Amino acid sequence: MPLVKLDTGYNIQVEFMVAPFGQRMLAWIIDVMICWMITAALATVTNTPSFFVWTNSWTLSGLLISLPVLFYHLFCEVTLNGRSVGKLLMRCQVVTEEGGQPTFGQYLIRWSFRILDFPYWIFVATSVGVLPWWTLPLVFSGVACVIFTDKSQRIGDVVAGTILIDTRNNTSWQDTVFTELSENYKPRYPQVMQLTDRDINTLKSIINTVKKKNDHELANRIAQRIISKTKMETDQYPIDFLETLLLDYNYYSTR
């Protein structure tokens, strides 16, 4: 399984596993089946003729039935933090090339380029003679881009600056930054709120890396950068300091 090294907000590279082709294909199939069920259900309720995920009616009801499928991926990725239902079940997630959470604009770009990444409409266009037969290989443009790019990105990912990672073996992207605190917990570093949510997510990933590789030099470098940025003072060991920051962030974020 290919690995990519992403530069975090602390100028530290963290490794992530790229979602393999089979995993993302299964996620796509699940999403297509969900779109089919949505279309079939709405077509039945409105008595509108349909075929798979399309309606062959240009009436108002036919156009309205098409909207949930049209905006399915954009809605899911925005509301489910870079995941559709298929990606959620297959445990993969869209992140930026820097390892952060994509903006709405990046999700919008990925969604806009689906018409080029998955141009199944070319089958219809060639069958009715609108396009010549030799355009059929363009149906696989997105697949070819995934296969031949270093980070397994489809066209929309390349333009938006995003990648699809495998979260099955990376708990920092499965879990939130929030941790249960004891009732009498007393925070030590109020300056932690100078850090952003992305900083905290990155920090949690780095702590996991430090523990996994026993890399205390990495912990020391990160601690020094945070101290320099926030003007904190501490007498804790670097890894203890970083873990305390996570707890303090939880404390102040929930008050």
146 and 191 co-located in one domain: no
93 and 76 co-located in one domain: yes
Written as tens digits, the pLDDT of the chain (255 aa) is 566 666 555 444 566 788 888 899 999 999 999 998 988 888 888 787 776 666 766 677 777 888 888 899 999 999 998 999 999 999 999 988 877 778 999 999 999 998 888 776 676 677 767 777 777 777 778 888 888 888 889 999 999 999 999 887 554 433 445 566 777 888 999 998 888 776 777 788 788 888 888 888 888 999 998 998 888 999 999 999 999 998 888 888 766
51 and 109 co-located in one domain: yes
Take residue 17 and report the two structure tokens written for it: 């596993």
Domain final residue, candidates 119, 144, 171: 171
16 and 110 co-located in one domain: yes
Q: What 3-state DSSP class applies to 35?
A: helix
Q: Which residues of 86-119 are buried (b: 16+ CB within 10 A; e: fewer)?
A: bbbebbbbbbbbebbbbeeebbbbbbebbeebbb
Domain final residue, candidates 171, 196, 212: 171
Q: How many domains does the chain have?
A: 2
pLDDT given for residue 185 in this prediction: 87
d(CA 54, CA 70): 10
Residue 162 makes CB contacts below 8 A (sequence gap 6+) with 94, 95, 96, 97, 102, 106, 110, 153, 156
d(CA 200, CA 210): 15
80 to each of 6, 76, 216, how far by Cα in Å?
22, 5, 34
Take residue 208 and report the two structure tokens written for it: 């996991």
Print the domain residue range for 47.
3-171
49 and 146 co-located in one domain: yes
56 and 148 co-located in one domain: yes
Q: What is the value of pTM for the model shown?
A: 0.64
Question: In the chain, which residue ranges form alpha helices assigned H by DSSP?
Answer: 21-46, 60-70, 72-79, 85-90, 104-112, 114-117, 121-127, 141-148, 155-160, 197-213, 216-230, 238-253
> What would the DSSP string read from start to end of 51-107?
ETTEE---SHHHHHHHHHHHTHHHHHHHHTTS--HHHHHHTEEEEETTSSPPPHHHH
86 and 199 co-located in one domain: no
75 to each of 36, 68, 104, 216, how far by Cα in Å?
17, 9, 10, 41
Domain final residue, candidates 142, 171, 200: 171
140 and 231 co-located in one domain: no
Residue 44 makes CB contacts below 8 A (sequence gap 6+) with none
In DSSP terms, which residues pair with 96 in a beta bridge? 162
183 and 236 co-located in one domain: yes
85 and 36 co-located in one domain: yes
- How many Cβ atoms are within 10 Å of 48's Cβ, its own excluded? 20
204 and 82 co-located in one domain: no
47 and 151 co-located in one domain: yes
